[in-house]
A and B are shown apart, each in its own frame.
Chain A
Amino acid sequence: MSSRQRNGLILLIVAGLIAASAVVIAIRPTVLGLDLKGGIELVYRATGTPQNPKVTPATLSEAVQAMDKRVNQLGVSQPSIQTQGSDNIDVQLPNVSNVQQAERQVGNTTRLAFYDWEANVLVPPTGGAKPQFAAQGLATQDSGSLTISQGGGLAPGQSSTTAGAIGLYQAAKLASQQPARISAQGNSRKGPEYFLFGKPGSSACAAFAAAHGTKPVPGVHCLITGGTEGPVQAIGESVHSAVYSGLTPAEIKGTQLLTVPQGWVVVQGAPASFAHPLSTWDPTAGYYVLRDDAALFGSEITNPQESTDQSGAPAVSFGFSGRGANAFQSVTAEIAKRGSLASIGSQPINEHFATVLGTQILSVPQIDWKQYPDGINGAQGAQISGGFTVSSADELASYLRLGSLPVNLTQISNTTVSASLGAQALHQGLIAGIVGLGIVVLFLLAYYRLLGVIAVAGLVAYGIYFFALIKLIPVTLTLAGMAGLVLTIGVAADANIVIFERVKEEIRAGRSIRNGIIEGYKKGLSAIIDANVVTIMTAFILFVLATQDVKGFAFTLGIGTFVSLFTAVMATQAILLTLGNSKTLARPSALGAGRKHHVWRVDFMGASRYFFTLSGVILLVGAFAIGGRGLNLGIDFTSGTQISVGLNHPASVGQVRSLMSSIGEGDARVQAVTGDKALGPYGFQIASKYLSQTTFDQLRSDLSSRFGIRTNTVGNQDLNRNSVGPTFGATVEHSAVIAIIVSLLLITVYVTLRFDWKFAVPVLIALAHDLLISVGVYALTGRVVTTDTVAALLTILGYSMYDTIIVFDRVRENTRRMPNAAFSQIVNRSMSEVLTRSLATTACTLLPVVALLIFGGTTLKDFAFALLVGVASGAYSSIFIASPVLTHWKEREHGFRLRRERIIAEHGFVPAYAAGAGSDVDPERAAAGAGAGKRRRAATRLSEPSPEGVSAAEFEQMKRELGLEEEAAAAAGAGRGSGSTRGAAAGRGSSGTGPTAGRGSSAARSQNARSEPARSETARSAPGRSQPAAPGPAGRPGPAQPAGPAEESADFQHASDATSDDVVMPDQPRPRGGARQPRNKKHGRR
């Protein structure tokens, strides 16, 4: 396939993909995340159960499936339930109409359990007696045991003292006095459970009652911890923080902590009627203490349905699984056997089994030992009856149908986003994206003109593909994802800039436009691939390890980088090459590759000490800011609740604060929000310590009744909530640290493989520099650090690497090209070559980031600020930190040390830029030449290379490698000076007819001064002989010219491998009008 056909095919593919993308964009909906369309996000931490002590990927996946079934029953469209890390589950429910129901249903881990009642229920002791199980007491006709077993006038297990039940405090105290009884099969709960009680009449009870809008019951201990949600377990946190969280020291004084060990449960007696059940953990209800040794669990029942019992009353019937049926028959047989034994010598007694849902007894049916002496055959199923209404029976059946979860779940974060706030965020994000794209387009057009048009075409194609992919996969578009999208606009433009700068260099070096494009893409590609691989690796690590918010960001960043590789490399190359044959690109100036207006001649390495000092001062200030001010960590890390609410009626900050005080949150920070369209004229932001669901519901109800809460178009209240439990911050922190460590390791391995391990260390130092400067700026400015900040900081890792890799790629290339130069000279030259590109790419990335900062919403602004600091610091460190460190380290190597010593011996110091013969070769051609020694000798005639084959500089290089100049010089006579030798060579060059002939002659003049080390030594030892004459016109024979940048003209162009550096001899007089060679003081030290 010819080159033209290939380009045509690529353009056809590009056009086809654009058409296909347009179709996808038109027909597929965009999946918006919660932060853009509203909804709730619940994050749960999974912990083991006695049956599944460890949380494994399999159990987590099973839990997700069960939760998915529950969510489907809610009728939520486009829900998202995903595992996060090793033990978290993230549930996102967009546009839910009943937030409370969703929260109650999705993560409910309540399990159905069947207990042998008399064998496990503990009879409260009377007097100094020891507590015993009812089954033991029945054998001795103990009255307490008889009451608990036979009900004392009520059904056994019913919530009444007449059925043997006791108060909550007494039950918890009795349970706390028992030794742990750990059973992997029978325990329904893993680990101890903590009950914090307030003493009757204590300030703790009064404060608790006031906060929950209840009245303390006189003479009764009140349960404080967990409020009406019951006791707590310390999962992933200290017992103290789990139990006493939210209590003042004064309130803690009037409390008593009871610890119920594993193997015991406090259960609430069954209500007389489920039509009017007492609330869970109601202090006035009756409780029992059960040994937690269940015969079977709800996971072993099948097909639960609402039905009726023999009397026609509502009931719940179900079948058993194979194992469940056996276990059921076995336990009922045991109960029947015990009942028959207990009946010997007394009136007949039937014993019971209990069905318990969570900590609520549902029923305690008896087993008639006469009717079922061998137990009840589980194959026929069973029925739970007693006190149900039709709806409560149906609710229980529905719940059982959803299946139990194989793990315990604790909610660690709860975020509610109102739909209108989401819509506003989407609008702001779109504006920021459009403005960002527009600025980059303007920049590219202004800076690159025609190339800019092609780059913009590539960007447009990129934008279309990217948006189509987002819809096709589909990727849930979040605010963080939009930030990633805006950043990838910069990355996509970067790739174009890297290549375009390279193309311009190649064309300036004397290649034809077509060859310049081909070579530019070829040489630029390795740098782009290296840089993009690192970005993709970072994005991948973020995606795997980070929290859900960050995942969206990482995913869009990863996809965007992939797509930009295609559009910036393949598509733009095809366009350029197609245009390369046309008149549009007939002249190099059309590509901006005419005369180079500015050549960087800065002694970067010499100046590095000043930049190091500057960085040191910035870091020192940052370090003192960290120590003095610290980081302002958001609730993602410190735990707490943040609420944004729009009220219907006017309210003052004081009124809202007093409302917060009335629910026990007097410490809450209340701020009025003005100018927020979504919140309206009476918007407020409230930040408090972590609010439990009950307290939050209370607050919502109070706000609604006193001031009214704005409702959105779908009728939901405009109330944003972000509640983060104490363990969530630790999870975020942990995942960020892991992500940073893994990223750094991968980056190190990759840089070591692609470059050299010594290149990896400066990269890591530069990354540490960027991260710490960003952290320091956050400490200094006092901006809130959120999970978004962490995501942005992690992204900085990838971006900073991108820039550094581009610089190092050129250093690597120049190291091979400059076999005699000191490393500082190699780096100086590399930096001067890539600085324009670095500045352009940094501008291209910073411009959209600034657009985000100005036009984005609150979240995007958080991202943008961190990115702004990180990207600026990354660009700075890649030039002024990473490269100098590399230079210092590499110059300690034996080879470079010798080079430096030689240069100092010759010149008295190390010039900032390499000078002299032999400083620059094309390594590939040199290697090829070395391997083809026989052919070199066999060559007798040099013909003009094909214009499409090599550049003028390479043509001259080939001549040197073939040794033809020496032969010509020898033929011309040993007594002739080098000037005549060069003249002969140049004369041959000028006789060519191709477009490179003239440039070849010029290049020949400049190249001759550095043909081989031996010759350069001669030249240095006899400087008088190498004194140059004034430059002659192109194509004319003439002596070697010292070509400083000021002497460059449109018709005198250096090859990429023949810059002015190489022909300026340190012992030659300074060229007229040329800049003085900057002296590298550092490296010039003897």
Chain B
Amino acid sequence: MGVLAWAMVGLAIWHFTIWMPDRHWGGIVGALIGAIVGAVLIGLAIHGFSIPGRHNTHLITTVEGIPGALIGIAVVYVVGDRRERARAAEA
């Protein structure tokens, strides 16, 4: 259940990347992967790489997915931005 909450919060936050310039590595799909993977990984890390079960999932579990999603999106954005700059410099 914990993974479901993290993945869902990752997917939710990804929707807001529509307001960002499209410079993510892999585009909007790259941002999606970054958000979900980030949310799940950080969520897992917070819980010592164990998945909270049905009875151990709380409101805070969902909140724990938010920083991961933001970090994931940021990483994908930074990588994508650097690549675009490099490509522009080459051109």
Residues of chain A touching chain B, judged by Cβ–Cβ distance below 8 Å, are 608-609, 612-613, 615-620, 622-624, 626-628, 630-631, 633, 761, 765, 768-769, 772, 775-776, 884-885, 888-889, 891-892, 1082, 1085
What is the CB-to-nearest-CB distance from A604 to chain B, in angstroms, rounded to a whole number? 13
Which listed residue, B11, B19, B61, B63, touches A768 by the CB 8 Å rule? B11
What is the CB-to-nearest-CB distance from A237 to chain B, in angstroms, rounded to a whole number? 15
Is there contact, CB below 8 Å, between B8 and A633?
Answer: no
Residue of B nearest to A638 (CB): B54
Residues of A within 8 A of B76 (CB): none
Is there contact, CB below 8 Å, between A627 and B57?
Answer: yes
Chain B, 13-41, contact with A by CB distance < 8 Å: what is the 0/1 string? 11110110110000111001000000000
Is there contact, CB below 8 Å, between A885 and B15?
Answer: no
Residue of A nearest to B17 (CB): A612
Is there contact, CB below 8 Å, between A616 and B1?
Answer: no
What is the CB-to-nearest-CB distance from A750 to chain B, in angstroms, rounded to a whole number? 19
Residue of B nearest to A893 (CB): B27
Is there contact, CB below 8 Å, between A627 and B58?
Answer: yes
What is the CB-to-nearest-CB distance from B80 to chain A, in angstroms, rounded to a whole number? 10
Which listed residue, A608, A615, A628, A765, touches B32 by the CB 8 Å rule? A765
Is there contact, CB below 8 Å, between A761 and B29?
Answer: yes
Residues of A within 8 A of B88 (CB): none
Is there contact, CB below 8 Å, between B18 and A772?
Answer: no
Q: With the chains together, A523 CA to B6 CA distance in Å?
A: 43
- A626-B57, A761-B29, A885-B29 are contacts. A776–B8 as well, Cβ < 8 Å? yes
Is there contact, CB below 8 Å, between B8 and A626?
Answer: yes
What is the CB-to-nearest-CB distance from A1030 to chain B, in angstroms, rounded to a whole number? 42
Residues of B within 8 A of A885 (CB): 28-29
- A609-B18, A888-B22 are contacts. A626–B12 as well, Cβ < 8 Å? no
Residues of A within 8 A of B1 (CB): 626, 630-631
**Additional A-B contact list (18), CB under 8 Å, known A627-B59, A892-B22:** A612-B18, A613-B15, A613-B16, A613-B18, A616-B16, A620-B9, A622-B12, A624-B62, A626-B8, A626-B62, A627-B57, A627-B60, A627-B61, A630-B57, A631-B1, A775-B8, A884-B18, A885-B28
Is there contact, CB below 8 Å, between B29 and A624?
Answer: no
Q: With the chains together, A628 CA to B60 CA distance in Å?
A: 8
Interface check B4, CB cutoff 8 A = yes
Is there contact, CB below 8 Å, between A622 and B8?
Answer: yes
Q: With the chains together, A888 CA to B27 CA distance in Å?
A: 7
Interface check B72, CB cutoff 8 A = no
What is the CB-to-nearest-CB distance from B75 to chain A, in angstroms, rounded to a whole number? 19
- A769-B11, A775-B4, A888-B27 are contacts. A608–B54 as well, Cβ < 8 Å? no
A-B pairs with lowest CB-CB distance, top 3: A616-B15, A627-B62, A619-B12
Q: With the chains together, A363 CA to B83 CA distance in Å?
A: 84
Residues of A within 8 A of B27 (CB): 888-889, 892
Q: With the chains together, A885 CA to B8 CA distance in Å?
A: 18
- A627-B62, A633-B54 are contacts. A772–B16 as well, Cβ < 8 Å? no
Residues of B within 8 A of A889 (CB): 27-29
Interface check B5, CB cutoff 8 A = yes
Interface check B65, CB cutoff 8 A = yes
Residues of B within 8 A of A623 (CB): 5, 8-9, 12, 62, 65
Q: With the chains together, A892 CA to B31 CA distance in Å?
A: 14
What is the CB-to-nearest-CB distance from B47 to chain A, in angstroms, rounded to a whole number? 13
Residues of B within 8 A of A769 (CB): 11
Residue of A nearest to B12 (CB): A619
Residues of B within 8 A of A631 (CB): 1, 54
- A623-B62, A627-B60 are contacts. A616–B13 as well, Cβ < 8 Å? yes
Residues of A within 8 A of B61 (CB): 627
Residues of A within 8 A of B32 (CB): 765
Q: With the chains together, A1001 CA to B62 CA distance in Å?
A: 63
Q: With the chains together, A130 CA to B39 CA distance in Å?
A: 61
Please indicate which of the listed interface residues A608, A622, A769, A891 has the most CB atoms of chain B within 10 Å of its own CB: A622
What is the CB-to-nearest-CB distance from A767 to chain B, in angstroms, rounded to a whole number? 12
Residues of B within 8 A of A884 (CB): 18
Is there contact, CB below 8 Å, between B54 and A772?
Answer: no
Is there contact, CB below 8 Å, between B58 and A628?
Answer: yes
Residue of B nearest to A625 (CB): B62
B48-69 contacts to A, CB under 8 A, are 54-55, 57-63, 65
Which listed residue, B13, B14, B18, B59, touches A624 by the CB 8 Å rule? B59
What are 8 A-to-B residue pairs whose CB atoms are below 8 Å? A612-B18, A616-B15, A619-B12, A627-B60, A627-B62, A628-B59, A630-B1, A630-B57
Please indicate which of the listed interface residues B5, B8, B32, B58 has the most CB atoms of chain A within 10 Å of its own CB: B8
What is the CB-to-nearest-CB distance from A736 to chain B, in angstroms, rounded to a whole number? 13
Residues of A within 8 A of B63 (CB): 627
Q: With the chains together, A975 CA to B87 CA distance in Å?
A: 47
Residue of B nearest to A633 (CB): B54
Q: With the chains together, A903 CA to B65 CA distance in Å?
A: 40
Residues of A within 8 A of B65 (CB): 623
Residue of B nearest to A610 (CB): B18
